[in-house]
Amino acid sequence: MNNIFLSTALIIGCLTAPTTIADSPVRPGDRIAIIGNTFADQLRIHGYLEAMLLQHSRENPVSIRNLGWGGDMLAARDRPTGFPTEESTLMAHKTDVIIACFGMGESFAGEKGLDDFTNQLKTLIASHAGKTYNGKSEVRLILVSPIACEDMGKLTPGRDERNRDLASYTRAMQDVATDADVPFVNLLDVSRYLMDEPKGPQLTTNGIHLNAFGYWAISHTFFDQLRSDDRFSGRQSWLLRIDAATKASDGRGVDISELATGPSGLSFQVTEKSAPTLRPPIDQQLPPQLEFVRDTLVVENLKPGKYQLTVDGELVATATAEAWAAGLAIDDSPVHKAAEAFHAVVNDKNLQFTYSWKALNQVHIVGERRKSPSGKNLPAEVIEFNRLANELDSSLGKPIELKTRRWRVSLTSQ
């Protein structure tokens, strides 16, 4: 068990090490704006990265506005008539750092488009140089690579060529970031590594657009690369290990105390020290590289039989003694449910912001319905949506409460 957790952690750790080492790219208290393509746009819908950043900057939480737009490329970022400028939105948010996700759409130009892509990246960096959107300090920029192309059979006939081009564009982005002393996040390597794993669910819907599981999986490495020092409390999954025979115990992310054993099982006290990990949005078995990401309880040397885990009286999981000895995910506990509720608020905040910033039907603004009752009411509705987004953002500044709880592993049958 130890060897499995250690080896997978080391593999993912090697892949998630920041390519460009600098001061931590994202810091507690940062006001962040995300710009870029469909990958960036969909980050706001799934919310895993933002929930992690918030829960691990508990004392001084970040604040995020997602300005991603499906299909955006560096040189093609068209907006409807009368749409607010990006600079005005960055200033309204008092932005400290911009996370820029590009390269997927541009990569379809192949090798011949690399020079243009490189120049466009340099232009992006230059366009923000010296800008103080927060009114006091120069904005920081982070470049994020595209993900790899997943093998979807007939849906992705040119997958190998796609990945060669994506690798070339990722190297170009890394070179530009290095030359400009800008932090760089490499999502290509880890995404391809996970996509090539034969076990586990697929990460995308069509080869290049992540599904819900894909965002859950990639957000872990994304988070790790957004911090290169210890000012964020370390995002490590919980691992609780108990030996029912010797009464030895050890906890990562939690403290274990008051362990008591008896004929029908055992009980112990768990003090939550760090935020729990959100459960994956699927019921399928995870690829082996990600099994260690889930919060896990290992109980060795239980007598044969089936045991149930309760936390403060709430049923969390039921399994055989053999399964508990191998390690079982425990991400349905009360604090995990609180984390899921927090995650839902993150997604609601992003939805309200989207309604306030990105009107879904321009005909009510510049078209034939602008003088209709709905068109006339739109400005007031936009103001209300923005108020709701700001209100929810403020509520997210209060992280979920970490408590001390009583855990019991009780025999249910022989």
Span 243-281, pLDDT tens digits = 999 999 999 999 999 999 998 999 999 999 999 999 999
Q: Are residues 187 and 268 in the same domain?
A: no
pLDDT at 382: 85
Q: Which pair of structure tokens corresponds to residue 118?
A: 């490189």
How would you classify the pairing of strands 63-66 and 31-36?
parallel
135: left (phi over 0), alpha (psi -120 to 50) or beta: left
Tell me what pLDDT residue 311 has.
98
- Which range (130-139, 149-158, 221-230) has the least confidence? 221-230
CB atoms within 10 A of CB 126: 10
Shared-domain flag, residues 64 and 90: yes
Please report the pLDDT score of residue 24 as a whole number. Answer: 84
DSSP code string of 59-84: TS--EEEE---TT-BTTB----TTPP
Residues 45 and 118 in one domain: yes
Confidence class for position 16, pLDDT limits 50, 70, 90: very low
Q: What are phi and psi of 232, to 5 degrees?
A: -90, 135
Residue 88 covered by a domain: yes
Q: Tell me, what CATH number does 209's domain have?
A: 3.40.50.1110
Both 197 and 324 in one domain: the answer is: no
User: Is residue 285, in this structure, part of any structural domain at all?
Assistant: no
Q: Which of residues 128 and 288 earns the better pLDDT score?
A: 128
Does residue 281 form part of some domain? no
Which whole-number Å values give the CA distances from 413 to 303, 307, 321, 332, 397, in the listed order? Answer: 11, 7, 11, 22, 45
Residue 12 has pLDDT above 60, yes or no: no
Give me the domain span that covers residue 414.
Answer: 239-273+296-330+332-414
CA 150 to chain centre: 19
User: Is the model's pTM score more than 0.75?
Assistant: yes
pLDDT value of position 159: 95
Domain count, the chain: 2
Which of 104, 34, 32 minimizes the C-alpha distance to 71?
A: 104
- Judgement on whether residues 251 and 220 belong to the same structural domain of the protein: no
Contact call for residues 398 and 293 (beta carbons, < 8 A): no
**pLDDT above 70 (res 360):** no
Task: Looking at the structure, tell me whether residues 88 and 171 fall in a common domain.
Answer: yes
Closest-CA residue to 56 (of 17, 16, 21, 28): 28
> Is pLDDT of 9 > 70?
no
Percent of the chain at pLDDT > 70 equals 89
Q: What is the pLDDT of residue 181?
A: 96
Instruction: Note whether 184 and 309 are same-domain residues.
Output: no
Is 30 in the same domain as 177?
yes
User: Regarding predicted confidence, which is higher, 28 or 2?
Assistant: 28
Mean model confidence pLDDT for the chain: 90
Rounded CA separation 275/252 (Å)? 11
Burial label, 332 (beta-carbon count in 10 A; 0-12, 13-18, 19+): middle
Residues 59 and 152 in one domain: yes
Residue 14: pLDDT above 70?
Answer: no
* pLDDT at residue 149, rounded to an integer: 98
Rounded to the nearest 10 degrees, the angle between the axes of helix 48-55 and helix 38-46 is 60
Beta sheet of 97-101, edge-to-edge order: 63-66, 31-36, 97-101, 140-144, 184-185
Kindly state the percentage of the chain with pLDDT values over 90: 78
* 93, 131: one domain: yes
407/264 same-domain check:
yes
Q: Which two tokens stand for residue 219?
A: 């957000």
Query: Counting beta carbons within 10 angstroms of the beta carbon of residue 111, is it exposed (0 to 12), middle (13 to 18) or buried (19 or more)?
Result: exposed
* Digit-coded pLDDT (tens) for 43-61: 999 999 999 999 988 889 9
Last residue of a domain, one of 225, 250, 283: 225
- Assess if residue 230 is contained within a domain: no
At 59 the pLDDT is 85
pLDDT band of 368, cuts 50, 70, 90 = low
Residues 217 and 260 in one domain: no
Whether residue 132 is contained in a domain is answered as yes
DSSP designation for 133 = T
Question: Mean pLDDT across the stretch 358-383?
Answer: 70
